[in-house]
Amino acid sequence: MALPTHPPCHCCSHEQELLSLLRRKRTPHGRELRILVIGDSQERHLVLDACKAIGGRYHMLDMNGLPRLSDCPGCPHVCEHSNVRTLQFMTYGVKPNASHAVTAQHINPGETTELPERLGRYLPNLTEVALRGAPTHVLAHSGLWDLLTLCSTRHAAFQTIIKGGEYSQWLSERLWTPLRLLYPHANLMWRTVPPVARRAVHTGYIMKGCMRPPFDAGDIALVSRVGEMAAAAASAVVLPLAKLVDAMIAECGEGVFNRTVGGVGGWHLAPVASVRWWTLAMRWALLETL
């Protein structure tokens, strides 16, 4: 099945289109949509912005599935709207034994961050609590944290890891295979790694401990291509977020990115762009449910 196409206005609001999709599929054969979104803070913003736009119920959980009121960027985030339940679950890349100064600001003491252990320890309970059952769709992503945890790797070694097949093997063994074992009947989806704003490439918040800027455009494109191939090998549908963001930048400039972390930011999409992307993801998920 071909990916859905879109009207040329990439930067206008798409709340009504998203709401229309959800209304049309309010009770598809009595089936709920239970969507597990795995990735980084980009996913958190995608889910949060889209949930606000459609008037969904948005809340946080702790890693044990209990309600959490205080802000926690690495905690699970949930959106409920009509018959659609979405759980956003943070991971920190697929690199083994990964560590970075920024990671400590996202996790709680004693929290498991390594894949695949993190998936097996937390997801079975979280999906029962937040989705009320196994997910019908899993949208996964890895890339920005991988680049961040490899930022102290010399260029030649980095190229060998990515191009030599080691990174693809990590994706297969530490993400796709565990997910398929956990949720054998779910539709698997993957999003490509989008560019970040130019102002974000050298941000001090991100550059802590880095030998070189982690979000170089060429490195992002390389990791994204390898991730796409690994997803295809796992029979996951590839959602082209990178191409969509490129098109939005061409039409609207870097206003498609929000401003976070001391007003600098640039690695999260602005709310309007998030809703546009989430509409693409939901269109595909709903088509897959027919």
All structural domains of the chain: 15-289 (3.40.50.1110)
Using the predicted structure, report yes or no on whether residue 27 has a pLDDT greater than 50: no
Convert the pLDDT of each residue in 228-281 to its tens digit. Answer: 999 999 999 998 888 888 888 888 888 888 765 444 567 788 888 888 888 887
DSSP annotation of 186 reads: S
Convert the pLDDT of each residue in 155-202 to its tens digit. Answer: 899 999 999 999 999 999 999 999 999 999 999 999 988 888 877 777
Using the predicted structure, report yes or no on whether residue 290 has a pLDDT greater than 70: no
For 26, the token pair is 């309010």
**Strand stretches in 50-168, DSSP E:** 57-61, 67-68, 77-81, 84-90, 137-140
For 155, the token pair is 């260029």
229 three-class SS = helix
CA distances from 115 to 54, 110, 174 (A): 33, 15, 6
**66 CB-near residues (< 8 Å, 6+ apart):** none
Please report the pLDDT score of residue 13 as a whole number: 61
Please report the pLDDT score of residue 127 as a whole number: 97
End-to-end CA distance of the chain: give it in Å, rounded: 12
**20 CB-near residues (< 8 Å, 6+ apart):** none
pLDDT, average across residues 50-60: 90
Instruction: Of 261, 8, 214, give the one whose Cα is nearest residue 93.
Output: 214
Question: Are 241 and 256 within 8 A, CB to CB?
Answer: no
Instruction: Give dist(CA 83, CA 112) in Å, integer.
Output: 31
Please report the pLDDT score of residue 187 as a whole number: 92
> Pairing mode, if any, of strands 187-191 and 57-61?
unpaired
Please report the pLDDT score of residue 258 as a whole number: 78
Average pLDDT taken over every residue of the chain: 84
Using the predicted structure, report yes or no on whether residue 146 has a pLDDT greater than 90: yes
